[in-house]
Structures are given as C-alpha cells and as structure tokens.
Amino acid sequence: MLAGDLELNAGDPQAAYDTLAEGQEILASHAETGYISTMVGLRAQAALALGRDDEALELAHETERLAQKDDFDPHMRARLVRAEVLARRGDSDRAHELLKEATELIESTDYAFLHLALGEVTAAVCRLAGDGDGERVALEKALATAEWKGHLVAEARIRARLAEL
C-alpha cells in the first residue's frame, strides 16, 4: 500500500496501479480486511490518473463497499475519485457536493496526504468547471500543505500547475 501511494505521489500512476493490484490480491488471499479498502481507494485514484474513468468509478464503489463506516480514508478517496470523474463528465454541481463531503471527512484530521489530494482534486474540479480563481485557491492551499509536510515532489508539481495559470 505504501509503495503504491508513493508511486502515485511520484507521478507514476501505472506503477502505482500495478503495485496496488498485486497488494490487493495478496491481502485478499489472506482474508485481510483492515487495509484493503484503502488499497482499493488508491487503485481508484491510480485508474483515474491513467484516464480510466469507468474503472475508477467501479473501484470507488468497491472501496466504499469494503470500508468500515468510520474509516474516513477510503470514504474520502472514493468521493475524490467520483468528484473528478463527474467534473470530467460535466456535472460540476455533483462534483462540488462530493468535494464538500470529502472536506467534512478530512477537515478535522492532520493527515497531510489526504489534505493534499483534496486540494489537487478541488483544483481539477474547479479547472474543469472554468473556475480559474477556485483552481488557484485550491492549488495554493495544496502547496501550503505540501510545504508543511516537506513533500518536495508535490511542491514541484503544484508550482508547475500554478505557473500555467
């Protein structure tokens, strides 16, 4: 799971997807359920990054099916995937609703990687809706999170996106 998350954050969604699929298979063969929903959520994010929107939605659904009710990580990841797919398909109202739900799940935590993902997906949804100001605000918030965490790869990625605005 950690290797897949690192690959995804490093910008190699195919390596992330492959690593996570292998890890999911291993966990399932041992009837391990504690991490599998998060792993499937990460796979959904990797599928989304690869442009495989239908598969990303299927994996998001599976993530929520496997997740415990109180496990915010997979529920938040599933909402982020759905939000970006819906924005890509032109349904920005529903995408923003899902972002609001995801924000409520993570707002009280200090889990920087999820705050970072929330900021980047919010920026993408705003961009797809034609909201350049919202995109900039979301990217600046994500950049502050990346700087706080010392996540140099994310900092560079976000700075590059900001420079394009």
Of the pLDDT bands very low, low, confident and very high (cuts 50, 70, 90), residue 6 is confident
**Looking at this protein, which amino acid is placed at residue 16?**
A
pTM for this predicted structure: 0.88
Give domain limits for the chain: 2-164
Which of 1-15, 71-85, 94-108, 142-156 has the least mean pLDDT? 1-15
**Interval 19-78: pLDDT, tens:** 998 888 888 787 766 788 999 999 999 999 999 999 999 999 999 999 998 888 999 999
Tokens of 57: 């939605």
**Looking at this protein, which amino acid is placed at residue 70?**
D
**Looking at this protein, which amino acid is placed at residue 111?**
Y
Query: How far apart, in whole angstroms, are the C-alpha atoms of residue 82 and residue 59?
Result: 10
Residue 12 CB neighbour total at 10 angstroms: 15
**Looking at this protein, which amino acid is placed at residue 104?**
E
User: Which CATH fold topology does 2-164 show?
Assistant: 1.25.40
Query: How far apart, in whole angstroms, are the C-alpha atoms of residue 18 and residue 137?
Result: 33
- CB of 64 closer than 8 Å to CB of 73: no
**Looking at this protein, which amino acid is placed at residue 56?**
A
CA distances from 75 to 27, 41, 47, 140, 152 (A): 19, 8, 17, 24, 27
CA distances from 135 to 4, 28, 51, 96, 124 (A): 27, 38, 20, 13, 7
